[in-house]
Each structure stands twice: as structure tokens, then as C-alpha cells.
């Protein structure tokens, strides 16, 4: 069975590479045909061809007398906002559920895409429509645009197409994948935006006071004939050090950030250690772990409900695990399941998933309701994440304000302390 699976996967990958190389050679052309009496209305569309002459030849074979053909400029090299992709998938699911043919639905959606930021997605939808009209499946057409539609999305969509549940799969993908993802991102971003801005402003104000304000007080302090307080001396030394080596500190900071990013993305052992420290952090660790469990169960539930085989579903779940530790654990589960083990038994061996989560998945497997149990787990962890994000913002705001108050208070007291003691100094 594993040999047949590997052969099928190799064929699938070769077909995808062939389709991608062909799409790179061909160009996308937009054509229009004028009305010819009452019998033939005006129409337009897209077609892939090697040249404009080739496009005209292909259209002629289809019985289309194109009056104008132009090459569609631009490509999809660049990110498209997640909210635009979600809106597109939602509109496509609604139109297909209403009985509108796939190619016509894609054309209508592309035609109505107006406004700033939708030009690139409009070109992508036109290209997908041209591929669909040429005979490709919707999932294969979307695979040509990986920056918008990743492997997980396309594999889930392909399973829905094979099962004859394209509309249901699109609706589930939009609801479970992008709506939940957008909501999760917005909540976490909302909780961290205000503290981040406050911290950045506080650091900027501190540096500005050390570089520009404290040196002006230094000239005043030189007139005093007595020893300055230890706090004031420390601030003066810090100011002098920052003014003399500010560029070096900035260069070292940038180099450290770049080096950390390089090590994290290139060295698996370093990434494993950082992920472990992040997961053990007091506040951020709990938030990260809960988000990981929510995404893990939500992705697994969506793929399993769409008819994707469990082994293939676990492979996609592993790619979205977020940390190397859970990615390796999910890959280990996948290998165990491929040899005939149950998901819950394989999860228990990894010793990284909480016992209550493993127990609920075991109950789902034994009752034949794995889809429903994964959905319940996803909702449970998403609700828990919402509560943690709300509590995080409630705790962080006063804590940060207290820290900033102490920092600014220390600077002010350190600058004015000699003046307060002016009587004893003079």
C-alpha cells in the first residue's frame, strides 16, 4: 500500500511540475468578441497561448471571432491580502451553490473586482478561468498560484472535487481556514498592537533623553563643586557612551537581528531550542501553545471532513504546525498511522500533546465521529485562545504603563536630583 502511495505521489508531483512548466511557457490573453446581430451577443474571456497569433488560432478553432486580443500584463509574484482571497472563495462558493457554472462564476467575480488592492487577484482569477476553460480542474489551476493558494488549500479542494462536493469544500475552507485565521490574527494583533506601540515610544523617548536632554544638564552639573548622586552619574555615563558609540550599537543590533533570523531559519537545532524557550515562556508560551492546538485541530478537522486521507491530512497539518517540535511530532504520528496505528495511540507516544486532547480524539476514533471530535477540540481551543488574548491585554497594559512610569521617573529623578540637593551641594 505504501509503495502504491509513493508511486501516486510521484506521479502527482510530476504532473504538477509539467503543468507549471507549461504555464510558464504560455501567456494569458484577454479577448473580446463584438455582437453580430441578435443571435450572437458580445462576449469576452481569457485564454492561454504561446503568442497572440496562437491565441487567435485557438479561438478560431472554438468558433470565436475575436475582435481584439491583448496580453494580460503582470503576474502573481507578490502577496494578496488574506481578506481578498477569503472574499473570493466565499463568492465562488455562493455562486456555485446557486447553480452558476464554474467558468462563468470565475468570469463574473473577476469582472466585479474593483477597488484598490484587487488588481493582482483579478489577474489571478482570470488566469484560473482560462485554465478551467482549457480543461484543468479548479484545484490544478489554483496550484499555479502558490502565493495565494497553498498546498493545503489545493489538496483539500482536490479531495472535494473528487467527492463531488466542491461547493461544500469551498465553503468549509473559507469558514474554517480563512475566517478563523483572520479572526485569530486580528485578536492577537489587537492585543499586542497597543503594548508594542507604547514600548517603542518609550524606548525612543528614553534614547532621545539620553542623547539630547541629559547632555544639556551635564554642563550645569559641571558648575557644582560636589560629588553628584550615583543615579545621576550613571545616567551621564550612559549618555556619553550612547553618544560616542550610537552607530556601533545600532549596527550591532541590526547584525544581531539578522543573525538570529538566519540561525532560526537555517539551523534546525537552534530553532528547536528557541521554540522550546518560547513555549515555556510564562505568558506568551501559553498563548502560543493554545493557538497551535487550535490550528492543529482546525486544519485536521477541515481536511478529514473534506475526504482527504488521514496520512495525507497529517502531512499537511505538519507543514502548518508552527514549531519544529510539533512538526516532527506530527510527522511521527503520520508514519505510525501509515503502518496501521491509530491517531490517538501515535499522539500519546510523542508526549507533546495534552492528555485531554488525546483522550477526546481516542473517543472520536472509537465512536466513528473523528470529524465532530476534531471540530469540538478546535472550537474549544479557539474559545480558550480568545479568553487568553483578552486577559493578556488586560494584564499587559497596566504592567507596561508601570514599567514605563518607573523608567521615565528614574530619568527625571536622576536629572533633577542634584538640583533638589542644590543647597547642600553649593
Domain presence at residue 11: no
Rounded CA gap, 382 and 41, in Å? 51
What's the predicted TM-score (pTM) here?
0.64
How many distinct structural domains can be found in the chain?
3
For residue 353, give its domain range.
Answer: 181-426
- Within a domain: residue 400? yes
Residue 108 and residue 128 in one domain: yes
Together in a domain, 61 and 150: no
* Cα angle 289, 294, 300; round to 5: 125
Q: State whether 40 and 158 are in the same domain.
A: no
Residue at 13 is within a domain: no
Distance CA 330, CA 402 (A): 42
Quick one: 174 and 192 in the same domain? no
Q: How many CA atoms lie within 13 A of 71 on its CB side?
A: 11
First-residue to last-residue Cα distance in the chain = 92
Residues 144 and 265 in one domain: no
Q: How far apart are CA 266 and CA 254, in angstroms?
A: 18
We report the CATH number of the domain holding residue 263 as 1.20.81.30
Whether residue 260 lies inside any domain: the answer is yes
Residue 253, domain member (yes or no): yes
DSSP class of residue 36? B
> What is the DSSP-derived secondary structure letter of residue 173?
I
How far is residue 193's CA from residue 234's CA, in Å, rounded to a whole number? 32
- Check whether residue 104 and residue 247 sit in a common domain: no
Q: Phi and psi for 312 in degrees, rounded to 5?
A: -70, -35
Q: For the range 294-298, what are the long-range contacts, defined as Cβ-Cβ under 8 Å and sequence gap of 24 or more?
A: 294/184, 294/378, 294/381, 294/382, 294/384, 294/385, 295/184, 295/320, 295/322, 296/320, 296/321, 296/326, 296/330, 297/357, 297/374, 297/375, 297/377, 297/378, 297/381, 298/176, 298/177, 298/180, 298/378, 298/382
Distances (CA, A) of 174 to 149, 177, 192, 203, 279: 12, 6, 26, 40, 29
- Are residue 146 and residue 248 in the same domain, yes or no? no
> Is position 211 within any domain?
yes
> Are 418 and 325 in a shared domain?
yes
As a residue count, the chain comes to 426
Q: Would you state the pLDDT for residue 356?
A: 92
Q: Are residues 366 and 386 in the same domain?
A: yes
Task: State the pLDDT at residue 24.
Answer: 45
Q: Out of 129, 147, 179, pick the residue that ends a domain.
A: 179
In a domain, 166, yes or no: yes
Q: Which of 35, 50, 73 is the last residue of a domain?
A: 73
CA distance 355 to 368: 20
- Cell numbers 510521484 correspond to 10
Residues 267 and 303 in one domain: yes
Q: Which residues are 45's β-sheet partners? A: 31
Name the CA dihedral angle for 331, 334, 338, 341, rounded to a multiple of 10 degrees.
120
pLDDT tens sequence for the chain (426 residues): 333 434 344 444 444 444 444 444 567 676 776 666 555 666 666 676 777 777 777 777 777 777 677 776 544 445 677 788 888 888 998 999 889 999 889 989 988 887 766 778 888 888 888 888 888 899 888 888 877 887 778 888 888 888 888 888 888 887 766 677 677 777 777 777 777 888 888 888 888 888 888 888 777 777 766 677 888 888 888 888 888 888 888 899 899 989 988 887 777 778 778 877 877 777 778 888 888 898 899 888 888 887 888 998 898 888 777 788 888 899 999 999 999 999 999 999 998 899 999 999 999 999 989 989 998 998 899 888 888 888 877 787 788 888 888 888 888 888 888 777 765 544
Residues 246 and 122 in one domain: no
Residues 59 and 93 in one domain: no
d(CA 212, CA 108): 60
Q: For residue 167, is it within any domain?
A: yes
Domain end call among 144, 179, 214: 179
Angle at 298 between CA 293 and CA 301, to 5 degrees: 125
Rounded to whole angstroms, the Cα distance separating 213 from 217 reads 7
CA dihedral 123, 183, 385, 387 (to 10 degrees): 170
Helix residue ranges per DSSP H, 163-283:
166-172, 180-208, 214-221, 230-266, 268-280
DSSP state of 149: S
Amino acid at each position: 500500500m505504501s509503495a502504491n502511495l509513493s508511486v501516486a505521489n510521484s506521479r502527482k508531483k510530476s504532473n504538477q511540475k509539467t503543468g507549471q512548466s507549461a504555464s510558464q511557457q504560455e501567456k494569458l490573453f484577454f479577448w473580446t468578441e463584438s455582437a453580430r446581430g441578435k443571435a450572437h451577443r458580445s462576449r469576452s474571456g481569457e485564454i492561454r497561448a504561446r503568442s497572440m497569433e496562437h491565441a487567435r488560432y485557438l479561438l478560431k478553432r472554438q468558433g470565436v471571432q475575436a475582435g481584439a486580443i491583448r496580453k494580460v500584463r503582470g503576474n502573481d509574484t507578490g502577496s494578496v491580502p488574506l481578506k481578498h482571497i477569503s472574499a473570493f472563495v466565499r463568492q465562488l462558493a455562493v455562486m456555485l451553490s446557486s447553480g452558476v457554472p464554474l467558468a462563468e462564476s470565475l468570469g463574473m467575480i473577476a469582472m466585479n473586482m474593483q477597488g484598490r488592492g484587487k488588481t493582482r487577484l483579478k489577474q489571478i482569477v482570470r488566469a484560473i478561468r482560462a485554465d478551467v476553460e482549457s480543461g484543468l480542474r479548479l484545484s490544478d489551476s489554483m496550484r499555479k498560484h502558490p502565493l495565494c493558494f497553498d498546498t493545503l488549500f489545493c489538496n483539500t479542494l482536490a479531495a472535494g472535487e473528487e467527492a463531488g462536493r466542491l461547493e461544500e469544500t469551498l465553503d468549509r475552507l473559507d469558514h474554517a481556514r480563512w475566517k478563523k485565521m483572520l479572526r485569530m490574527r486580528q485578536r492577537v494583533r489587537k492585543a499586542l498592537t497597543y503594548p508594542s506601540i507604547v514600548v517603542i515610544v518609550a524606548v525612543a523617548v528614553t534614547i532621545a533623553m539620553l542623547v539630547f536632554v541629559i547632555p544639556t544638564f551635564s554642563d550645569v552639573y559641571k558648575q557644582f563643586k560636589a560629588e553628584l548622586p550615583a543615579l545621576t552619574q550613571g545616567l551621564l555615563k550612559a549618555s556619553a557612551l550612547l553618544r560616542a558609540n550610537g552607530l556601533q550599537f545600532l549596527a550591532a543590533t541590526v547584525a544581531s537581528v539578522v543573525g538570529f533570523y538566519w540561525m532560526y531559519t537555517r539551523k534546525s537545532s537552534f530553532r528547536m531550542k528557541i521554540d522550546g524557550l518560547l513555549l515555556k515562556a510564562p505568558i506568551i508560551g501559553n498563548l502560543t501553545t493554545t493557538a497551535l492546538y487550535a490550528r492543529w485541530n482546525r486544519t485536521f478537522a477541515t481536511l478529514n471532513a473534506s475526504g482527504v486521507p488521514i496520512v495525507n491530512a497529517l502531512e499537511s497539518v505538519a507543514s502548518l504546525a508552527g514549531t519544529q517540535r510539533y512538526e516532527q511530532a506530527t510527522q511521527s504520528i503520520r508514519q505510525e498511522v501509515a503502518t496501521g496505528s491509530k491517531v490517538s495511540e501515535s499522539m500519546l507516544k510523542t508526549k507533546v500533546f495534552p492528555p485531554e486532547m488525546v483522550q477526546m480524539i481516542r473517543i472520536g476514533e472509537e465512536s466513528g465521529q473523528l470529524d465532530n471530535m476534531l471540530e469540538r477540540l478546535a472550537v474549544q481551543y479557539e474559545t480558550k485562545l480568545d479568553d487568553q488574548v483578552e486577559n493578556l491585554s488586560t494584564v499587559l497594559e497596566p504592567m507596561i504603563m508601570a514599567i514605563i512610569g518607573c523608567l521615565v521617573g528614574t530619568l527625571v529623578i536622576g536629572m533633577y536630583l542634584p538640583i533638589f540637593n542644590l543647597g547642600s551641594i553649593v
